[in-house]
Each structure stands twice: as C-alpha cells, then as structure tokens.
Amino acid sequence: MVKVLTYEDGIAAVYGGTILGGGGGGLLEEGLKLVEEIFAVGAPQLMDISELDNEDLIACVAMVGAPSAAHQFISNEQLCWSFSKMNSYMANRLKGIITNENGAITTINGWLQSVLLHVPVVDAPCNGRAHPTGIMGSLNLHEQPHYQSVQFYAGGKNKWALQGFVEGDLQNTAKSVRHASVLAGGLVGVTRNPVTIGYLKEHGAPYAISDAIALGYSFLKGQTMDEKLQNVMRHLHGVHIVSGKVTNYSLTKENGFDVGKLMVEDFSLTFWNEYMTLAKAGTIQSKFPDLLMTFDTESMMPVPSASMKEGMHVAVMQVDQSYLKLSTTMKNAALLAEIDEVIGAVR
C-alpha cells in the first residue's frame, strides 16, 4: 500500500520523531518548519515495504551534523542533488528513499525529495530511534565482506557550501561525511549505502515511520502535560522517571557532535547528541539504546539535549529498548562500546 501523507501526518511525524529522537535527531522547531516547506510543494508518498521485491534497491537519506551548530544550512537543490547523483550512479535502479532514523527532522528525511523527485519514501528506516554516529544507521553493512560504502553529500551556503562523493570502507566514509558537515557549517544532507529490500527487512526497522506518526498523534491528543506524558508512555510502554529543574547542564561540541550532561533532582543524564545514560547516586539505571527523553513541562513540548537550559523544569521518561523498533546495529557490541569512550569524561 502507498499512502499519500497529509499535513497533519507531517506534524505528528515531527512530534513523534522528536520523542523517538531520544535527545537527538534534530530540533522540533526545525522539523515543523520543514513540514511547512514540504507541504507547500506537495504531498509525499509513504510506501509499505511489502510492496517491493526483496531484490529491489533503495538508498538512505540522512542529515549529518551537530544539532547546535550555528551555521548549518541545506537547500532543496542540495538535498535533491545528493539523491539524483546516487540514482545515476546506480543506473537509475533506486525504487525509493529511506531515512536513517527517527527524530524531529530525521523522521521526515526524504519527504521533500519524495515530492520534488516523485520517489516514494519506504516505511522502513535504518533505525527506529535516533543514534549519534553514521555507522549506527548503516545496517551493519560494515560487517559485510568486501562491502564498499557509497555516499553523496551536500550542504552549507556562501563560504561553507560544499558537495562531494566518497566511496570506500564504511567507517572511513562515515567519518569523512561527518568531517564534511563540520566544514559546511554544521550540516550536510547525504544519500548513502544502497541496499536490497531483503537486506533492509532483516537489518532495518520496518514500519517505524508510521509508528512515529501514530506516537505524535497520541502526544498531541493530550490537553495537559500529564495527559501527553501518559499517552506517550502508554504508546511506548515507557516509565516516568523524575520531574524537576535542570541543573549542572553542560554542552561541548566535539568532532561535529554535541556532548554533555545534566542533572534533574538526583538523577544524572549524559548525552552524545542523544541521551546515553541515566544514573542515580553514580549507578547507571538505563543506557542507550534504551530511549531516554526529556519534556519541558511548562511549554508541554519534548525538548532535545541541544535545547536544554539551566533551570528548565522537565520530566524525564525512559523506555526499555525491547519496546522499540531497532536496527541490528543496536545490538552490535563494538558500535555500542564507543559510547563509553565518548561520555566517560563527562559523567
């Protein structure tokens, strides 16, 4: 089945995506702005993965960069350039677009290209929650013998504008695109890593986009913060951990990432774009890929790590990873080991 998405679906996708972003995945206000831009042009199409044959090819589109970067910019032309170049490289065999993850912006990655290029978005992102590194959204392709990653990227404006192509080892190409995002002022749009539908079914997160839309509708249905939280926790089987003022908030930019920590009452959280750990009295109680998310109780909005402010009153929610639609990368011990290396110094 192919569904023509509505403006209301777009708004719900951004709110649901923000929650599933787990502190990353882009900024809420930027996602809502992008919805306006998309539906001013037309209506994207969301395709059920079952409509495609296992040997059909798709490619992933993603935004790579640090959410708090001051000079980030990407144009419609740059987004379309990266997908069109990839399709040409693949002899025009791509049947659709997938996004890399759920997030305020990332859930709707590819929707604009869907409208402008008349290509469907396939309801099977690389991951059903947001994650910090490009390789975490690469379907464990780095473990496939002799696999060569292909990535086209573009972003920035004025002196930061750049576009390019990289092919090679997946770890190296992912790092190259991350470095390009820094040079471009903080953000690039990338089309990368064509795979078969059969491979995507095994390693990706089928139906995670429609789930984000349903989650967004559940959140928006609530009239008070308590109702919104209850609706979200019911949908995700989540737990309300604590509510209180944010203290000891710190954020630094490291190699294109936002890295930092904060306290809410006697609970501490660390983040590497997304929230990584929840601890109390020095004991870790939850760790990525469990979903940790914060909500501004005054504005009644989900708030990611980069938008947090000292003194903000927030509610913290936790969802066990078993209830999430996750890629096989979220069980890859080598990829998850990077977390301790990055956040160890900020705990």
At 64, the pLDDT band (50, 70, 90 cuts) reads confident
Q: Hey, where are the domains in the chain?
A: 2-208, 235-343
Give the DSSP letter string of 114-146: HHHHT-PEES--S-SS--SSGGGGTTTGGGSTT
CA within 13 Å, CB half, 215: 32
| Residue whose token pair is 């900024």 | 27
Q: Around Cβ 341, how many Cβ atoms within 10 Å?
A: 9
Furthest-apart CA atoms within the chain: distance in Å? 56
Reported as a pLDDT band with limits 50, 70 and 90, residue 347 is low
CB 186 within 8 A of CB 74: no
What CA–CA distance (Å, rounded) separates 296 from 6? 27
For the chain, report the end-to-end CA distance as a whole number of angstroms.
47
The predicted structure's pLDDT at residue 253: 83
Correct CATH for 2-208 of 3.40.1610.10, 2.30.30.140, 3.90.1170.40, 3.30.70.240: 3.40.1610.10
Give residue 67's pLDDT band: very low, low, confident or very high (50, 70, 90).
Answer: low
Q: What type of residue sits at position 90?
A: M
Residue 224 buriedness (CB in 10 A; 0-12 / 13-18 / 19+): exposed
Q: What is the pLDDT of residues 100-131, one digit of tens each?
A: 999 999 999 999 999 999 999 999 999 999 99
| CATH ID of 235-343, from 3.40.1130, 2.60.40, 2.40.390, 3.30.420 | 2.40.390
State how far the Cα of 13 lies from the Cα of 213, in Å rounded to an integer.
4
| pLDDT tens digits along 294-306 | 999 999 999 999 8
Given pLDDT bands bounded at 50, 70 and 90, which one contains residue 344? confident
Which tokens belong to 262?
Answer: 């904060």
Which two tokens mark 29? 């206000």
Q: How confident is the model over 159-203, as pLDDT tens digits?
A: 999 999 999 998 899 889 988 998 999 889 999 999 999 999 999
**Better-scored residue on pLDDT, 216 or 137:** 216
Please, are residues 232 and 19 in contact by the beta-carbon 8 Å criterion?
yes
Task: Give the model's pLDDT for residue 66.
Answer: 63
Strand pairing partners for 245?
313
Omega of the bond leading into 194 within 30 degrees of 0 (cis): no
CA distance 244 to 207: 34
Mean pLDDT, the chain, whole residue set: 94
In the numeric block, which tokens belong to residue 113?
Answer: 């290209």
pLDDT in tens, 4-63: 999 999 999 999 999 999 999 889 998 999 999 999 999 999 999 999 999 999 999 988
Provide the token pair at 101.
């993850």
> What pLDDT is stored for residue 161 in this prediction?
95
Other CB atoms within a 10 A radius of the CB of residue 263 amount to: 15
- Quote the pLDDT of residue 62: 86
Q: Say if residues 252 and 260 touch (Cβ distance below 8 Å).
A: yes
Q: What is the pLDDT of residue 345?
A: 58
Q: How far apart are CA 293 and CA 295, in angstroms?
A: 7
